[in-house]
Amino acid sequence: MTSSTPLADAGAALSPLDGRYRPVVAPLVEHLSEAALNRERLRVEVEWLVHLCATGAVPGARVLGAEEVQRLRGLVARFGPDDVAELAAIERETVHDVKAVEYYLRRRLAGTPTADVAELVHFCLTSEDVNNLAHALMLRGGVQRVWLPAARALHADLVAMAREHAHLPMLARTHGQPATPTTLGKELAVFAARLDRQLRRVEGAEHLGKLNGATGTYAAHAVAVPGTDWQEVSRTFVEGLGLTWNPLTTQIEPHDWQAELYSDLARANRVLHDLCTDTWAYISLGYFVQVRGQGSVGSSTMPHKVNPIRFENAEANLEVSTALLDVLAATLVTSRLQRDLSDSSMQRNAGTAIGHSLLAVDNTRRGLAGLDADPAALAADLDANWEVLGEAVQSVMRAAAVAGAPGMANPYERLKDLTRGRRVDAEGLRAFVTGLGLPDDAERRLLALTPAGYTGYAERLVGHL
């Protein structure tokens, strides 16, 4: 089977993230691509060499000079397309990705003043020592520097919309049926609060790393240089990378922290999915009007349409992302005995999973930015559903009965007979109220009540944001 086809030779993308949606997800390439993985592997190898020399862990190894360290770190900072191609060529010979990085670094040391410590490159490391740290650095960068700022910007949009519409009455729907009114802002505030909770979990994620050899025992280290405290060398190295040191592992770092992170990201996705489907429904009900004149075509045949495509696109990408995040979280916590390679292929999909989520965040923000609330539509819907005040009437009757008012028996049943399965208008409800024999103050409250005014603390609740 040949990989050469007209479209392949033209560089056509297989994944929509690398094709149609590339401009949105491009910032993640710097952190979660195959090239970024190799750059972070190189970073780990360079920093391990510097650390070994600086700590005197290996007797006879000299401390590197400032210019040498700067030059070594410059290899990472300047890592680019030519280096990617060179590494790929080396890997075709080694048939081993981490070994290719080791050989690449050794080449860069050849003929330089640092060549005398070349044997410390990849000293006592197993591939997973390099890989687990590289993946931790990649995920920290991709999530903290790209995904989280985008998600936080979406959260800020939601907070602003919630505050703007905190006072705007809206008919609620439970089970799809008219229910006790709320405000548009309060419902948006619920989503803002839910999203904030998940973002705080993602922000507080621990990124673990290990460096302890082929089965997590420091066996090679202890035999090569028995006089060195290798646990301390490992701890200070891992923590020096900004990661949390894990002292107890097999050959691999168990990835539990990754599973936790992916689960948190998946929950954030699910909150956004709920937001998108509800917003779609509000658009369908006419509560939101989509802003026209944004240069988009709603329908290829129906000129009047402005479709809620941003929210539908976000839904689809959230579902793809969540499915991948779920399988990552479920599978990465298992490794047969001291090591199997199932995690190697699985972890390579993290960029795809987070990329689809980032794309959904972008679409949701664009979709929300294209909405205007329609107070007239909201008011009309409320005015068409006076029966939702049945809850208020029977609650006032119950309170009056407790206070000793006569004639207040069976309030729920009486309101059920009046309202269930029927539309009740303002006149009908008020006529019912005046015939109840309520205390004057209670009757006045109910006669003054409208569906639009029956929103309780909804506006005030937005203040919890």
Run of H or E including 35: helix 34-55
- In the numeric block, the tokens 């802003």 are attached to 291
Q: What is the rounded CA–CA span in Å between residue 304 and residue 447?
A: 42
Q: Mark out the alpha helices in 166-209 (DSSP H runs).
A: 184-203
Choosing from 3, 4, 175, 300, which is the catalytic residue? 175
Please answer whether residues 241 and 211 qualify as being in contact, where contact means their C-beta atoms are separated by less than 8 angstroms: no
Q: What is the rounded CA–CA span in Å between residue 21 and residue 362?
A: 11
Q: Which residues pair with 289 in a beta bridge?
A: 372
Q: What is the rounded CA–CA span in Å between residue 226 and residue 234?
A: 14
Q: What is the rounded CA–CA span in Å between residue 357 and residue 366?
A: 14
- In the numeric block, the tokens 């609740």 are attached to 461
The b/e string for 1-23 (b: 16+ C-beta within 10 A; e otherwise) is: eeeeeeeeeeeeeeeebbeebee
Please answer whether residues 255 and 344 qualify as being in contact, where contact means their C-beta atoms are separated by less than 8 angstroms: no
Choosing from 96, 284, 296, 299, which is the catalytic residue? 299
Give the pair of three-digit tokens for residue 429.
């409800």
Using the Cα atoms of residue 78, residue 30, residue 334 and residue 258 in order, give the sign of their dihedral.
positive
Q: Which of 82, 72, 24 is nearest to 48 (CA)?
A: 72
Q: What is the rounded CA–CA span in Å between residue 325 and residue 328?
A: 5
Q: What is the rounded CA–CA span in Å between residue 295 and residue 308?
A: 14
Phi, psi of 290 (to 5 degrees): -80, 130
Is 296 designated active site? Answer: no
Residues 6+ apart with CB under 8 A from 223: none
Q: What is the rounded CA–CA span in Å between residue 91 and residue 120?
A: 21
Give the pair of three-digit tokens for residue 111.
């003929």
In the chain, the largest separation of any two C-alpha atoms, in whole Å, equals: 102
Q: What is the rounded CA–CA span in Å between residue 13 and residue 92?
A: 23
Is 464 designated active site? Answer: no
Please answer whether residues 461 and 186 qualify as being in contact, where contact means their C-beta atoms are separated by less than 8 angstroms: yes
Please answer whether residues 147 and 251 qualify as being in contact, where contact means their C-beta atoms are separated by less than 8 angstroms: no
The b/e string for 271-294 (b: 16+ C-beta within 10 A; e otherwise) is: bbbebbebbbebbeeebbebeeee
Q: Which residues are catalytic?
A: 175, 299
